[in-house]
Amino acid sequence: MRVAPDVNADPSQVAVMNTNTMAWEPTEWPGITRKVLEFVNHPRMGRETALLKFAPGAALPTTVLTERMDLFVVQGACADEHGTYGTHTFVRNQPGLTLTLSSAEGCELYVKWRVPIRAGGPRLVIDAKSAKWMEFPHRGADVLHLYPNSDGIETGRIGHVHTNRKLPSHDHSIGEETFVLKGCLTDEYAAYGEGVWFRMPCGKPHAPFTGDARCMMLIREGDLVW
Taking only the tens place, the pLDDT of each residue in 58-100 is: 999 999 999 999 999 999 999 999 999 999 999 999 999 999 9
Do 111 and 146 sit in the same domain of this protein? Answer: no
Q: Final residue of a domain: which of 127, 148, 180?
A: 127
Cα gap 194→214, rounded to integer Å: 11
Q: What is the pLDDT of residues 179-211, one digit of tens each?
A: 999 999 999 999 999 999 999 988 888 889 999
Residue 38 falls within a domain, yes or no? yes
Residue 2 falls within a domain, yes or no? no
Closest by CA position to 183, among listed 218, 157, 155: 218
Cα gap 7→39, rounded to integer Å: 5
Residue 217 falls within a domain, yes or no? yes
Do 35 and 61 sit in the same domain of this protein? Answer: yes
Residue 157 falls within a domain, yes or no? yes
Rg (CA), the chain: 17
Do 123 and 138 sit in the same domain of this protein? Answer: no
Do 26 and 116 sit in the same domain of this protein? Answer: yes
Domain holding 184, by residue range, is 134-221
86-95 in b/e burial notation, b at 16+ Cβ within 10 A? bebbbbbbbb
Q: Final residue of a domain: which of 127, 149, 184?
A: 127
Residue 181 vs residue 174, higher pLDDT: 181
Count of domains for the chain: 2
Do 39 and 110 sit in the same domain of this protein? Answer: yes
Do 154 and 82 sit in the same domain of this protein? Answer: no
Q: What is the pLDDT of residues 109-164, one digit of tens each?
A: 999 999 887 777 889 999 999 999 999 877 789 999 998 766 667 889 999 999 99
Residue 6 falls within a domain, yes or no? no
